Structure 1
Amino acid sequence: MICCLSSLSTCVANLELKVKKNIIFRSGSNDLFKPIAGFSILLLTAWSMQILSIRFSQLLFIFFVLFALWPVARKAWRKSLEGNIFSMETLMSFASLGALMINAVHEAAVVLWLFHIGESLEHYATQRARAGVSSLMAIMPETVMLLDDGILRAVPVSQLKPGDEIEIAPGGRLPADAILQDSMAAFDESALTGESLPVEYAKGQQIYAGSVIVDRVCRFIVTSEQGCNAIDRILKLIDEADAHKSPTERFIDVFSRTYTPIIALLSMMVMIIPPFFYDQPWDMWFYRGLAVMLIGCPCALVISVPAAITSGLAAAARRGILIKGGAALEKLAEIKVIAMDKTGTLTEGRPTVVCVITDKPDDEDRVLSLAAGVEEGSSHPLAQAIIRQARKRFNDYPIAGNRQALSGQGVKGDIDGRDVNVMAPTFAPPFAPDSILQGETERLQDAGLTVVVVALENVPLGIIALQDTLRVDAKKTIQALTAMNVDSLMLTGDNPRAAAAIAGQLGMKYQAGLLPRHKVEAVYLQQIAAPTAMVGDGINDAPALRAADIGIAMSGGTDVALETADVALTHDRLAGLPELLHLARRTRTIIGQNVTISIGLKIIFLLTSMLGVTGLWVAILADSGATVVVTFNALRLLRTEKTLPQMILKENS
């Protein structure tokens, strides 16, 4: 028997070495349950030995209890030194030692075994919630082909810096944020946005790290510093989010700190009052007091909210939505109004030429080429739109000399010695009485288009109408929000006619001609009636983003907007808004379910434990069972499902 005990001690010592390496509390899924397997084998051995020797079996049970209690007691001691005297580990330690004192070794062993299983499942759930985001790092390539003096050579990704030119073959993954140098290419962005279909990008557009090239060899110019690409930003924001607890999390933390000492006091009262004041059996009430102490452990309650919050944050990140903390996620569930900027948010922020109108139909090409020649070299969005249209239509056009910008009015220059002006209608030369241009200008402006007049030698030749195009998913997004009983409001600095045209197409309310301070005032007025979110992309939107209950930035916007906002839509998918609100509401529902399950089971089993209906192992099984239920309930948020917003978006596509 001594030899057997010695051999068993050696095996257990090896297992304890793993415990010292913190395998029990590690997050690796393969190693996470190895100690549980060891504990289970040891417990089964102790139970099996009852056939051969009751006494030896009893010794094994005592040994198992002390061994399984060691990591729990050590953690309890560490927490007590940090000021957390009444931790769940402390209650577990006292209850296990108390069970040993009254010779309830079998139940003490089962209690500790179940506790370790619950701990492992809790860590497994947390790992699963973060795995979807952390796994992004694993998909990044380690090397990339760098173009150096016209020669391609493989270099470590860690050596890339902004300005480097790289080449990636089909099926390769972009290791950094970069600008596409080829005319057109398709990219699989499913790792970042969850979108299964490839997305096409044109030359000069920004592509984010983690995107996979689908159809051709492409070259790129790197734009991100090391550690600052799209995936790095996602991981950083998730880490920061974990540090920002939601209001419910903070309440549960405060509640637990008060609740646990009360449970310890109640347990002591159950142990002492009946034997001392009512002459009841000491053993019976001491046992019931231990059961109360165990069922009172707030394990399930403590994990119920953070498990749901972490799962919600990870699920959002999988959809290309970054939420800066649990507080923002909970607040999103309350949003009833979403205010949106127009340019760059509801629209592409990239005007296009809609039409060219002249008194003589054959003059359209001439008017466009003259306008492009004068606008050449300008960075103004309207100028760029005219130049793009001219380059599509002509191989070449004359470039004006002596080009000059007229502040707030337009531009002028000379072509072949003749003055050419491209002006706003207000500052342009008057139209001829018999010209159709005056009527067409008014009609187009009433429709919300921007009109410029092209004049040669101070005589109007024609007009060019331009319009900022709607995002492809803008209308479907507004419809989805309306179906979710969320009101939409457009806040823009643009002129009322242009704003009315866009708002009319989308079926939403609008306020136009707003300066940044006016947008802030508009957000404050909305907040009086209902919780309000603001969506924007520019520097001028930053004050309103900060003023709103929740600020949501489009990732294609300015750094100021992204830093100010509580949420970032990483790939400018406006359709992410209804998905975001739906996810926030699901998270709130699951938090409510978890808290109800945790508290409900506590109340039921506290009563049954005091009445002697349930014992120690049932108490801890109920607590561990509740922990398992709430963690796996929270993990439902990670499942891909066809949500209401997704169905609406699909039906309207």
Structure 2
Amino acid sequence: MSNDGTTVIFRIRGIDCAEEVATLKAEVGPLVGGEQHLSFDIVNGRMRVNDSQATPEAIQRAVAATGMSAAPWTDDAEADEQSCWQRRGRAAMCLASGVLLVVAVLTHALAAGGLLAAIARKVLRPPPWTMACYLGAIAAGAWFVAPKAWFAARRLRPDMNLLMVIAVAGAIAIGEWFEGGAVSFLFAVALLLESWSVGRARRAIKALVGLSPQVARVRTDEGTVEMQVDEVSVGSLVVVPPGERIPLDGMVQSGRSAVDQAPITGESVPVSKQEGDEVFAGTVNGVGALQVRTTRPAADTQVARIIKLVEEAQTRRAPSEQWVERFARYYTPVMLALAVIIAVVPPLIQGGRWTAWLYQALVVLVIACPCALVISTPVSIVAGLTTAARHGVLIKGGVHLEAPARFQAVALDKTGTLTHGAPAVQSVVPLDDHTDDELLAIAAALEAHSTHPLARAINAHAKEAGVEVPAASDSQMLPGKGATAAIGETRFWIGSHRLMEERGIETPEAREAARRMEDAAHSVVAIGNDRHVCGLISVSDTIRTESAAAIAAMKTLGVRKVVMLTGDNNETAQAVATATGVDQVRAELLPEDKVSAVAELAREHQHVAMVGDGVNDAPALAAASTGIAMGSVGTAAAVETADIALMSDEIERLPWLIAHSRRTLSVVKQNIVFALGLKLAFIVLATLGMATLWMAIAADMGASLLVIFNGLRLLERNTVDHKKGRGACSHGPNSA
């Protein structure tokens, strides 16, 4: 049992659809203080109980009363191994029901003088042996249904299990032995299919677990030994031969290779790795041998976190899932009431035969079974979440899977989203008698501990130039503007052109130099002290070649407005906008200005996405309808912050995400409309006395097959369209 504080997790046997979730909520909810304390993961058969004073034993007894069973949750696969009956019992009883039904039909046909005569009830009462086979077929088919139906009857909460049991009992009561046996058998087949479809989705998620090897080759004093990955300590040296999967996250200690990161990020091209580069568990080493120093334990690797978040995402139910659950809560009692009306009212009003209208009522009960409706939606959502994870798109819940389909506006941060986020120094312009090396040394000292892309560019350039960097003290950040620090007895500042203007010491010479840099679409980094401007450094970044194509694709998909938000200067921002095709530019923004800009977009367009790095843009991501962090493979904070995390830095994942969301939502809607439309048609036919049980059985079975397989189509690996564009841009010191 997983017990985190006041959270207790159970594995539920027998839960396959939203109706059973509703049953558990109704039975367990009052015991734990309300439904709000419960969350469910149908695919993995998991029930989480939060903040409850109820004992685990009491909860297990409540679950058992519903005809399902609860056991303590464990992540240990061996400890959770199912018995043969748990794995094969449903299929065995379904097979037994089918065999007994065939035997019953054959013996019935012999007694009646032909198959058609038996089906047409030429012999109203089958021989005892035949009746025994029919009853055996019915009992085997209803083996897993009857306990749940009995619970529903006792609690006066009709569900699909009760509908089927009533339909079978009614068929026997009016002498329709063959139809009764067929309904029981085919309902057992439908439940088996339902269980299989959930298992298929579960196996798709478990396939992610299989990405990471279970054994690692660890270099020790005695040589190279094989160890289970969960026994490898952080800091160990792991040997990864060519062509094998990397077992743990780490840093390359020695060697050079190209690593296929597609299992984690979805990137189609292998990424070059050498000493000092980060690698991830589950990715595939190329042609070169690598020695990797592990940085995380097996339970905390990037792929382990992805798997955990995908599983947790299933508890955050999509709007369509919530609708189906609410609908099923009222639908089944209404259908039962309608069946009673059809059985009773026409004979009373028209004086017709009671058995004929009871037969039509049974047709309604059979076709009313909400199997297809309640299972297809969660299966579709889980399939959509799993496929997205395969493509390096981590979606934290069904609610966020459906959201991109409705995007009307998308706000994009510039640096690291539209651009590569790896700017380089283009020129150093010293002023007021300073030299290039002096200016670089001051700038590098002020930015020594900063992780901003511009700071990294300046530090790298100073290192390449061989400049001796002095020590700075009393460093202070100026959010969205720059920083200040003391070097010796003098206090210096570094920041944007705007910071230089605010200081009131901008000279005509400094203004002209800054203007030339901005005209060239470069970012301006100004350095000065309280007396004068020491000089300027220009830095530029390059636009991702695929940015323009990605933005065009989003517009083709129906996104009305694409806005770029940046702290960079307006000239640089406009240059990027021209190259990428964004509709609107908001430049020279502080972090709080980005939040305001996103809020303004949200007022104009109901569904707004914000795309950024997930760390610096966290407030803006939170302000949007959906926050999307890009390039999150090495950033745990980004995965935690955003609603959706693009594990690679490929911007073309954005249009893929929108298209995938629309495809998923389309499949869900198709299934709901088809299932309800078919049921409505048969209810009308039954009301007119034109439907038969066989027609209802065939239609319900066919509907279940179609909608389940339609939902599972989302597990197919659809590809990303890599369209490339070209361009260049730069980045300002105050952008985030």
TM-score by length of 1: 0.82
The amino acid that maps onto 1:375 is A
- C-alpha distance 113-480 of structure 1, shift in aligned 2 (>3 A): same
Q: Is the 8 A contact 1:309 1:587 kept in 2?
A: yes
Cα drift, residue 402 of structure 1: 5.9
Indicate which of 502, 518, 521 corresponds to 2:576: 502
**Distance change >3 Å, CA 183–CA 493, structure 1 → 2:** farther
Query: 1:3 corresponds to which residue?
Result: none
Separation in 2 of the partners of 1:181 and 1:532?
A: 43
Whole-angstrom distance in 2 between the partners of 1:475 and 1:556: 23
Partner of 1:578: 655
Q: CA deviation at 1:652?
A: 4.7
Residues 369/189 of structure 1: CA separation in 2 closer, same or farther (3 Å cut): farther
1:391 Cα offset (Å)? 5.9
Q: Which residue is 1:13 aligned to?
A: none
How far did residue 79 of structure 1 move?
Answer: 5.1
The answer (yes or no) to whether the contact 1:524–1:548 under 8 Å persists in 2 is yes
CA spacing shift, 1:221–1:406, aligned 2, 3 Å:
same
1:22-171 maps to which residues of 2 (within 5 A)? 33=91, 35-50=93-108, 55=127, 56-78=129-151, 85-148=157-220, 151-171=223-243
Q: Does the C-alpha gap of structure 1 residues 535 and 63 become closer, same or farther in structure 2, counting only changes over 3 Å? A: same
The equivalent of 1:603 in structure 2 is 680
Residue identity opposite 1:45 in structure 2: V
Answer yes or no: is 1:546 the counterpart of 2:622. Answer: yes
Give the distance between the partners of 1:398 and 1:67, measured in 2 at CA. Answer: 83
Q: CA RMSD in A?
A: 3.8
Matched, 1:512 2:587: yes
Contact preservation (8 Å) 2:218, 2:238 = yes
Name the SS for the 1:116 alignment partner.
Answer: helix
Segment of structure 1 superposing worse, 442-451 or 261-270 = 442-451
What's the offset of the Cα at 1:547?
A: 1.7
Question: Which amino acid in structure 1 is aligned with residue 704 of structure 2?
Answer: T
Compared CA separation, residues 432 and 62, structure 1 to 2 (3 A): closer
Match of 1:186 in 2: 258
1:474 alignment partner in structure 2 = 547
The answer to whether 1:175 aligns with 2:247 is yes
Instruction: Return the alpha-carbon distance in structure 2 between the equivalents of residues 391 and 553 of structure 1.
Output: 31
In structure 1, the gaps of 5 or more residues are 1-18, 360-365
Alignment-mate amino acid for residue 408 of structure 2 = K
Q: State the shift of 1:104 in Å.
A: 1.1
Pairing 1:491–2:528 present: no
- Contact preservation (8 Å) 1:492, 1:513: yes
Secondary structure of the residue aligned to 2:314 is helix
> Alpha carbons of 1:150 and 1:388: their partners in 2 closer, same or farther (altered >3 Å)?
farther
**Given residue 321 of structure 1, which amino acid in structure 2 is its aligned partner?**
V
- Is 1:222 the counterpart of 2:294? The answer is yes
Question: How many angstroms apart in 1 are the aligned matches of 2:351 and 2:709?
Answer: 45
2:423 to 343, 351, 366: 351
Alpha-carbon offset, residue 629 of structure 1: 1.0
Q: Secondary structure of 2:681's partner?
A: helix
Deviation at 1:240, TM superposition (A): 1.8
- Shift in alpha-carbon separation, 1:161–1:445, aligned structure 2, 3 A: farther
1:238 aligned residue = 310
SS at match of 1:243: coil
CA displacement, residues 91-125 of structure 1 (integer Å, 9 cap, x when unaligned):
00111111122221111111122112222222222
CA separation of 1:472/1:150 partners in 2, compared to 1, >3 Å: closer, same or farther? farther
Distance of aligned partners of 1:230 and 1:22 in 2 relative to their CA distance in 1, 3 Å threshold: same
User: Is the 8 Å Cα contact of residues 492 and 514 (structure 1) preserved in structure 2?
Assistant: yes
Find the residue that maps to 1:640 and give its secondary structure.
Answer: coil
Instruction: Measure, in 1, the Cα distance between the counterparts of 2:350 and 2:511.
Output: 102
Task: Work out the CA distance in 1 between the residues paired with 2:337 and 2:179.
Answer: 22
- Looking at structure 1, the residues matched to 222 and 518 of structure 2 have their Cα atoms a distance apart, in angstroms, of 51
* Whole-angstrom CA distance in 1 between matches of 2:348 and 2:463: 97
Mark the CA change 1:635 to 1:369 in structure 2 (over 3 Å): closer, same or farther. farther
Instruction: Assess, with a 3 A threshold, how the Cα gap between structure 1 residues 198 and 63 changes in structure 2: closer, same or farther.
Output: same
Measured in 1, the distance between the counterparts of 2:507 and 2:355 equals: 109
What count of residue pairs does the alignment treat as equivalent?
A: 610
Structure-2 separation of matches of 1:124 and 1:37 = 15
The structure richer in helix per residue is 1
- Asked if the contact 1:174–1:208 (Cα under 8 Å) also holds between the matched residues in 2, the reply is yes
1:528 equivalent in structure 2 = 603
- The one-letter amino acid paired with 2:685 is T
**What is the alpha-carbon distance in structure 2 between the residues aligned to residue 341 and residue 219 of structure 1?**
36
Instruction: Indicate if the aligned counterparts of 2:518 and 2:569 stay in contact, CA closer than 8 A.
Output: no
Q: Report which stretch shifted further, 97-106 or 132-141.
A: 132-141
Residue 448 (structure 1) aligns with: 521
One-letter amino acid of the counterpart of residue 565, structure 1: A
1:181 deviation in Å? 3.0
* Residue among 663, 667, 679 paired with 1:590: 667
Shift, 1:215, TM fit: 1.8
Report the residue type matching 1:480 in the other structure: A
Which stretch of structure 1 is more off in the superposition, 378-387 or 282-291? 378-387
The match for 1:625 among 690, 702, 714 is 702
For 1:131, the aligned partner's letter is R
Check the 8 A contact 1:490/1:510 in 2, yes or no. Answer: yes
1:103-157 superposed Cα distances (whole Å, 9 cap, x missing partner): 2111111112211222222222233334333212123211212234595332210
Letter in 2 for 1:152: T
Q: Output the amino acid matched with 2:327.
A: F
Residue pair 2:614, 2:642 contacting (<8 A) in 1 also: no
* C-alpha distance after superposition, 1:301-326 (max 9, x if no partner): 22232232222112211111111111
CA contact (8 A) 1:553 1:562 kept: yes
* Residue type of the alignment partner of 1:399: E
Q: Note the C-alpha offset of 1:472.
A: 4.6
Could you tell me how far 1:23 is from its partner in structure 2? Answer: 7.2
Look up the equivalent residue of 1:301 and give its one-letter code. Answer: L
Q: TM-score, normalised by structure 2?
A: 0.74
SS in 2 for 1:70: coil
Give distance in 2, aligned partners of 1:132 and 1:114.
27
2:34 corresponding residue in structure 1 = none
Distance 1:137 1:108, change over 3 A: same
CA distance in 2, matches of 1:612, 1:169: 71
Specify whether residues 287 and 375 from structure 1 end up closer, same or farther in structure 2 by C-alpha distance, changes over 3 A only: same
Partner of 1:14: none
- Structure 1 range deviating more: 294-303 or 144-153: 144-153
CA contact (8 A) 1:24 1:33 kept: no
In the other structure, the counterpart of 1:399 is 468
Q: 2:299 aligns to what SS in structure 1?
A: coil
What is the distance in 1 between the residues matched to 2:421 and 2:408? 26
- Aligned equivalents of 1:513, 1:462: Cα separation in 2: 21
2:150 is aligned with what amino acid? W
